[in-house]
Amino acid sequence: MFVRILALLAFSLSAPAVAQEVVPPPPDVFDSEGGLEVTVTDESAWQDLGIAIPAFATNANVPTPANTQGTGALGAELARVVYNDLRFNGLFKPTGPDSLPRPTYNQITAPAFNQWAGRRAEMLVHGYVRANEDGKLTVGCYLYDVQLQNELVRAGWVVEPSDWRRAAHKCADLVYSRLSGENPFFDSKIAYIAETGPKDARVKRLAIMDSDGANHRFITAGNATALTPRYSPDYKKIVYLSYLDGNPRIFVYDIASGRQQLISQSSNPTFAPRWSPDGKWILYSMAVAGNTDIYRVSAEGGPSTKLTDSPGIDIGGSFSPDGTRIVFESDRSGSQQCYIMNADGSNQRRISFFGGRCATPEWSPRGDLIAFTHIVGDLRVAVMNPNGGGLRYLTNSWQDEAPTWAPNGRIVQFFRTARGSGEASLWQVDLTGRNERRLPTPVGASDPAWGPVLP
């Protein structure tokens, strides 16, 4: 359905394949090998980087199910999606198609560099869209260094018309990765809880959307309160908590069939579901006679294994990217703190000793950091090293909680609750803590869960 074409079909004559191999190395300022500090330092340099993203060209303006006005208008829409992806993450200063001249189809592989240099664009994104005879769309994406008059990278994709936005996200990912040295993340989805109604009778529904808020869909009707969803790594299932039978229980929801099943046949309440990175296991927490411990069960079902056994509340849990360790929260010491254990429950040890309370730890997909909710009166989103050192706040508000990582581990989403009204909204912030923005959702929103880059 979604085929990546490494060598572009359209312009093989005008842009010989050899040209791709003499891509200049990225400027030193984009080198992130030095880790977080370097990234922070580099941010100002990134922000200065002007990127022109004019409308994508088309070989012929023909009808397509992806746009009522044809592939010509679709080309502008594609560029707008790329522009908004790159604009909202604080790394670049892109200029979008609505204030730029549109290149011709032939200029996509032979840009008018002097014209773009005159506009002070340092980087130039060109693209095209072409409707194929079978109804599918071919979308090409090119990144040029205007000063060097050089192509940096290119890629193309054949997509169903309904997936046209994915092609734009793939293009934004291509540009982002080439310029930042980081892994892609735009072509991904988010599950969350949509909230409506007054504070004491709030309706909470499971909902999903693309990483930019598009293709929004409510999954549950709101009859039963839904909380804390997590996408499976293959995006085929969502595990979440529902009060469907009156008690809080974890269900595994199959997106294609709409069917769902309980994760445990026990009559005890279950909370806080989490997938293992390989999708084979689900962690959950279960309260027995008031005492909550963490369990592991195969994603296919079957018996559960109890991983913790303390008289306190042990809850949550997040696997390290290699699946060998789990960070979780426990109040066995008297207050909520973060602990690490091996995936089989052995070698449990506390890692948070910096004061306050440590809650909802989430291991970065890169493995280098753990994001969590730090509670000292207010609730704030923070990160630390997996050994508990290097505490650093990413937010400073009255109540921010439940961080979830972008697939590339460079951005964290969370939800913010307003004092008084209790209105909840989704936010994201990068690791500098400086680029924070609210995500657009149709109604109130909480418990974001960011899935991996789409398969």
**C-beta closer to another protein: residue 175 or 358:** 358
Least Å from the CB of residue 316 to another protein: 6
If one counts every other C-beta atom within 10 angstroms of the C-beta of residue 20, the result is 15
Contact between 223 and 206 (Cβ < 8 Å): no
Can you read off the two tokens belonging to residue 267? Answer: 């009559």
404: which strand partners? Answer: 413
Give the number of C-alpha atoms closer than 13 A to the C-alpha of residue 21, restricted to the C-beta side: 3
Can you read off the two tokens belonging to residue 170? Answer: 């793939």
Q: Which residues contact 111 (CB under 8 A, 6 or more apart)?
A: 103, 124, 126, 144, 146
Least Å from the CB of residue 200 to another protein: 5
Collapsing DSSP to helix, strand or coil, 316 comes out as strand
**C-beta closer to another protein: residue 35 or 198:** 198
Which residue, chain included where needed, has tokens 């299932």?
Answer: 237
Least Å from the CB of residue 199 to another protein: 5
**C-beta closer to another protein: residue 118 or 197:** 197
**C-beta closer to another protein: residue 71 or 352:** 352
CA distances from 378 to 59, 98, 333, 375, 382 (A): 56, 42, 21, 6, 12
Least Å from the CB of residue 348 to another protein: 17
Least Å from the CB of residue 319 to another protein: 16
Least Å from the CB of residue 442 to another protein: 17
Least Å from the CB of residue 359 to another protein: 4
Interacting residue ranges for another protein, rule: CB under 8 A: 197-204, 221-225, 227-228, 241, 243-248, 269, 271-272, 285, 287, 289-292, 313, 315-316, 329, 331, 335-336, 359-360, 373, 375, 377, 379, 399, 401-402, 417, 419-420, 422, 446-447
CA distances from 276 to 232, 334, 343, 369 (A): 9, 28, 10, 17
**C-beta closer to another protein: residue 188 or 373:** 373
Least Å from the CB of residue 78 to another protein: 38
**C-beta closer to another protein: residue 23 or 391:** 391
Distance CA 153, CA 130 (A): 20
Distance CA 84, CA 350 (A): 41
Q: Which residues contact 177 (CB under 8 A, 6 or more apart)?
A: 183, 184
Which residue, chain included where needed, has tokens 């072409």?
Answer: 130
**C-beta closer to another protein: residue 177 or 335:** 335
Distance CA 58, CA 55 (A): 9
If one counts every other C-beta atom within 10 angstroms of the C-beta of residue 147, the result is 12
**C-beta closer to another protein: residue 408 or 417:** 417
